[in-house]
Structure 1
Amino acid sequence: MFAYAIDSKGFIVESYLIDGDVTVPLTAITKQLPQPLPFVKPNWNGEEWVEGETEEEKTERESKQLLESLKPSPKEIADAELEIKILITLKELGVKQ
């Protein structure tokens, strides 16, 4: 079982595995996070765990994920470099398209 120490805004700052003689702060939340975790940024509202990510944070996170997904992989870059080298070599040899 886990306990969660939270800051003044309800966000997790530390988690504790309660096993045996582990001492947790009196202010730690022992209500378990739902699984699978439906929250990007879990927040304790005083009664239950809720989503703590703001719309602005969500938009920024999704934008970063989109940009990352659009980046070519190292393999795609290597394949493109090889193709360019082949085309340059063929051009130098006088091969027409």
Structure 2
Amino acid sequence: MFLIRRSFKIQQGKAREAAEIITQIGRGYESLDQRRPVRVYLSGTTVPGPADTVYMEWTEEALMSAYREGNEAPDWLLDLFGKLEKIQISTEIEFFEMYSGQ
């Protein structure tokens, strides 16, 4: 099992707006059965951490290419990414192997 975390550095003062868009993106992937349930959280506003940063994380049984056959993104999902791109400075993705104790 793997934990995948994508972080988004956002323009100053736009983190909550970005968090809403990122939540919609995550729910969109869930509705298409392309992603397990996601968690979205942010730092640098009311809690310590990197300023204006939003995170989305989820788990997967296996790591697979986002460009695999049959993994198409509908236009409405691409539109959400377009909105996010307007306020996003950068993005990174991290992969972690979940420890099961065995």
TM-score interval (norm. to shorter): under 0.3
Query: Which structure is richer in relative contact order (CA contacts within 8 A, separation 6 or more)?
Result: 2
TM-score by length of 1: 0.20
With normalisation by structure 2, the TM-score equals 0.20
Structure showing the higher helix proportion among its residues: 1
Larger radius of gyration: 1
